[in-house]
Amino acid sequence: MIMAGYEYRGERPFRNVYLTGIVRDKLGRKMSKSLGNSPDPLDLIAQYGADGVRVGMLFSSPAGNDLLFDESLCEQGRNFSNKIWNAFRLIKGWPVDEQASMNEVNRSAIHWFESRLSQALEEINDHYSKLRISDALMATYKLVWDDFCAWYLELIKPAYQQPIDPESLKVTIDYFEQLLAILHPFMPFITEELWHLLRERNDDIIVSKWPNKAGYDSDSLNNFNAASQLIADIRAFRQSKSISPKESLRLIIRSEKTPAAIEQFGSAITKLANCEDISIVDSKPADAFALLSGQLECFIPMTMQVDKQAERAKLEEELKYTQGFLRSVMAKLGNERFVSNAKPEVIAIEQKKKTDAEAKIRAIEEALNTL
């Protein structure tokens, strides 16, 4: 091909050659008919779809290594296709109120996802530039499944059988189009189909422009990480106390001023965690469960009978575990060899672990004193 390029075009036809490892089964054996470990690609496509098989192959192909193929990865690829299709159905199924205006939850969600999309695209472009194709797929997978489907759509979607405002819908469709373009190199069939179903157009996605984003709001991303962690912690609290998701809770946060995460995403927290209100106080409230979420010291007033003995045993067990974790971190930070050889960012991570563990221990001890 190199010689033909020079002969007929007078130029080098390509600059890079991408070499993959050997495709092996999940046990590391070479594919062989005698071993019966070589699946028929057409059978896989019939079962999981062409896009599902493509994604499954890329999930098993880290750069520089052999491909340990596992058919379950094709199933994961098929599930990913279903997730994308269901996201499309959800967006297209929303009724629209042309007179409605964008609410605070939608506004904060859109501002966050704009930054998250820019951040992820920067990461994906970097992976492509270094020919880390499977890493680019994983970054795309997390962007679509976790950030767009699990968080953004949950924030933006209206209540059951309620309409959405036209501005929020337009922005969401624009985001979905950009995600389809980012997905297209990995999943060309479903993205081309949805590209034309999303709206009337004459151009194909294969010739569309690659999304171009410039810069992102780091503070907004950090604030959302704290808010989403708080939502997850409140949901886990509900599950541990057998509280129905439909029952609204009061959330109290002890802080000298309103934390940035609450100020920016308070409305999102009340929606997804089903909190009737969020109060900021400067002292610990009485008769409340303590809940430490990252750096946020939170409390949820008791609204049910509590088995104090069982709650105390649970907290003591958690305290013992956290104290052991803190000792291991302190031992690592006290190791001169580790501190002198480790990168600054690694030291910073360990220091943060130490700070978080100390804050958690204080919160647990206060909860025990309350009981």
Q: How confident is the model at residue 231 (pLDDT cuts 50, 70, 90)?
A: very high
Encode burial over 294-324: b for 16+ CB neighbours within 10 A, e otherwise: bebbbbbeeeeeeeeeebeeebeeebeebee
CA-atom Rg of the chain in angstroms? 25
Look at 59-63, 140-144, 237-241, 313-317 and tell me which has the smallest mean pLDDT: 59-63
Distance CA 371, CA 26 (A): 51
Count CB atoms within 10 A of the CB of residue 156: 25
Q: Residue 10 above 90 pLDDT?
A: yes
Please report the pLDDT score of residue 117 as a whole number.
96
Nearest CA to 231 among 274, 264, 202, 263? 274
Encode burial over 36-58: b for 16+ CB neighbours within 10 A, e otherwise: eeeeeeeebeeebbbbbbbbbbb
Q: Residue 371 above 70 pLDDT?
A: no
For 327-347, write each residue's pLDDT tens digit: 999 998 888 888 888 888 888
Query: Average of pLDDT values for 236-256?
Result: 86
Domains of the chain: 23-207 (1.10.730.10), 218-303 (3.30.2320), 305-371 (1.10.287)
Please report the pLDDT score of residue 30 as a whole number.
84
Query: Average of pLDDT values for 273-288?
Result: 86
Q: Residue 310 above 80 pLDDT?
A: no
| Highest-pLDDT range among 8-12, 13-17, 65-69 | 8-12
Strand 296-301 and strand 249-254: pairing?
Answer: antiparallel
Q: Residue 370 above 70 pLDDT?
A: no
User: Angle 306-303-155 (CA atoms, 0-180°, nearest 5)?
Assistant: 120
Given a contact cutoff of 8 angstroms between Cβ atoms, the answer to whether 169 and 96 are in contact is: yes
Look at 31-45, 124-138, 300-314, 340-354 and tell me which has the smallest mean pLDDT: 300-314
Please report the pLDDT score of residue 303 as a whole number.
66
Range list of β-strands (E), the chain: 23-25, 67-69, 249-254, 275-281, 288-293, 296-301
Q: Residue 107 above 90 pLDDT?
A: yes
Please report the pLDDT score of residue 173 as a whole number.
95
Given a contact cutoff of 8 angstroms between Cβ atoms, the answer to whether 315 and 371 are in contact is: yes
Query: Average of pLDDT values for 170-175?
Result: 96
Query: Average of pLDDT values for 66-90?
Result: 91
Distance CA 90, CA 294 (A): 32
Both tokens assigned to 95: 């009724």
Please report the pLDDT score of residue 304 as a whole number.
57
Look at 34-43, 115-124, 288-297, 360-369 and tell me which has the smallest mean pLDDT: 360-369
- Helix and strand numbers (H, E) in the chain are 14, 6
Distance CA 148, CA 32 (A): 40
Strand 23-25 and strand 67-69: pairing?
Answer: parallel
Distance CA 253, CA 20 (A): 52
CA dihedral sign of residues 106, 112, 118, 124: negative
Q: How confident is the model at residue 307 (pLDDT cuts 50, 70, 90)?
A: low
Both tokens assigned to 277: 């209100």
For 202-227, write each residue's pLDDT tens digit: 889 999 999 988 789 999 999 999 99
Please report the pLDDT score of residue 240 as a whole number.
80
Task: Decide: helix, strand or coil at residue 340.
Answer: helix
For 110-136, write each residue's pLDDT tens digit: 999 999 999 999 999 999 998 888 899
Q: Residue 305 above 70 pLDDT?
A: no
Q: Residue 185 above 70 pLDDT?
A: yes
pTM score, two decimals?
0.80
Residue 285 dihedral angles phi and psi, to the nearest 5°: -75, 155
For 343-363, write each residue's pLDDT tens digit: 888 888 888 888 888 888 887
Q: Residue 64 above 90 pLDDT?
A: no
Please report the pLDDT score of residue 294 as a whole number.
81
